[in-house]
Amino acid sequence: MRVLEHERAVTAWVETLAGPDTATLRLGGSWRLAHLAGLDRDLIAALARLLEAPPRRARIVADELDQLDTAGGWLIVRTIRALEAARVTVELVGARPAHAALLELLRGSEAAPCDPPPRDHPWLRLVLRTGAGTVHAAQEGARFLSFAGAVTLSLLRQLLRPRTLRLTSIVHHIEQTGVNAIPIIAIMAFFIGIVLAYQGADQLRQFGAEIFTVNLVAVSTLRELGVLLTAIMVAGRSGSAFTAQIGTM
């Protein structure tokens, strides 16, 4: 008999006593997460039997409740809410002060239902996106003008006071961004020139003008692609390097 009492004390159990006017739920044991494996199903089944013919009052007797954590308290609060939804007056009896405080905290923590987000019209969303993009572009333009003004003022100060001009730093950055980037730009221009020569010769052959393939590659590379590749390399290679250096300062 002592073994049975010990097993009952370390597990969670519930007993249901249905009366004509008042139903009683007796709770006992350790209502902790580790012991709630089958209690949830038993509690749902007991609640379903009670709600087949809902009584006017329900008493939850917790005088034999030894331990209680948030998981067990949530099961009790869920049962209380289900009974109250069926218009049953619920009374909690015999709970320890700590257990009663936890149950009261869980009952007050029910989140209010959120209102569904308003449905906006596709045209309204397009107008809002256009307006936001316009404002962002205006802000970026203002920042660019501010930056250009700061650069212009800095150049004017250097012209008025040439002694403050750091020639060593300027030559160093010219070497890093210009001279050291020549091999990469040359390789890219070489491979792009090969592709352009093959494609251009195939198209010019239809008109008997494949002899102008060399002129096409030379003019397009030196006049258009060379400038574009240089700008891409300066923005990608040198710009990212400057950003990394500034970020580590």
pLDDT tens-digit profile of 166-209? 888 888 888 888 888 888 888 888 888 899 898 888 888 888 88
d(CA 29, CA 7): 9
Q: Is 147 within the bounds of a domain?
A: no
Q: Is 114 within the bounds of a domain?
A: no
Q: Which of 65, 81, 107 lies at the terminal end of a domain, its last residue? A: 107
Q: Is 179 within the bounds of a domain?
A: yes
d(CA 215, CA 17): 101
> Residue 123 pLDDT > 80, yes or no?
yes
User: Amino acid identity, residue 6?
Assistant: H
Cβ 70 vs Cβ 98: under 8 Å: no
First-to-last C-alpha distance (Å) of the chain = 76
- The residue among 95, 68, 92 whose CA lies nearest residue 80 is 92
- Whether residues 12 and 103 fall in one domain: yes
Cβ 36 vs Cβ 45: under 8 Å: no
Host domain of residue 34 = 2-107
Q: Is 115 within the bounds of a domain?
A: no
Q: Is 248 within the bounds of a domain?
A: yes
> Residue 15 pLDDT > 90, yes or no?
no
- Whether residues 6 and 100 fall in one domain: yes
The pTM of the full predicted model, rounded to 2 decimals, is: 0.42
Residue with tokens 């920042």: 143
- Whether residues 184 and 94 fall in one domain: no
Q: Is 125 within the bounds of a domain?
A: no
| pLDDT tens digits, 127-160 | 889 999 999 999 999 999 999 999 999 889 888 8
- Whether residues 98 and 167 fall in one domain: no
- Whether residues 86 and 173 fall in one domain: no
> Residue 83 pLDDT > 80, yes or no?
yes
Q: Is 165 within the bounds of a domain?
A: yes
Query: What is the pLDDT confidence band of residue 10, given thresholds at 50, 70 and 90?
Result: low
Cβ 111 vs Cβ 80: under 8 Å: no
- Whether residues 8 and 98 fall in one domain: yes
The CATH code of the domain that includes 11 is: 3.30.750.24
- The residue among 231, 204, 228 whose CA lies nearest residue 215 is 204
Query: What is the pLDDT confidence band of residue 110, given thresholds at 50, 70 and 90?
Result: low
Q: Which of 81, 107, 133 lies at the terminal end of a domain, its last residue? A: 107
3-state secondary structure the chain: CHHHHHHHHHCEEEEEEECCCEEEEEEEEEECHHHCCCHHHHHHHHHHHHHHCCCCEEEEEEEEEEEECHHHHHHHHHHHHHHHHCCCEEEEECCCHHHHHHHHHHHCCCCCCCCCCCCCCHHHHHHHHHHHHHHHHHHHHHHHHHHHHHHHHHHHHHHHCHHHCCHHHHHHHHHHHCHHHHHHHHHHHHHHHHHHHHHHHHHHHHHCCHHHHHHHHHHHHHHHHHHHHHHHHHHHHHHHHHHHHHHCC
d(CA 58, CA 89): 6
Could you give the C-alpha distances from 33 to 67, 68, 73, 102, 103, in angstroms and in order?
Answer: 10, 9, 10, 15, 15
Q: Is 148 within the bounds of a domain?
A: no
Structure tokens at 177: 């961004």
Q: Which of 107, 122, 137 lies at the terminal end of a domain, its last residue? A: 107
Number of domains in the chain: 2
| pLDDT tens digits, 68-77 | 888 888 888 8
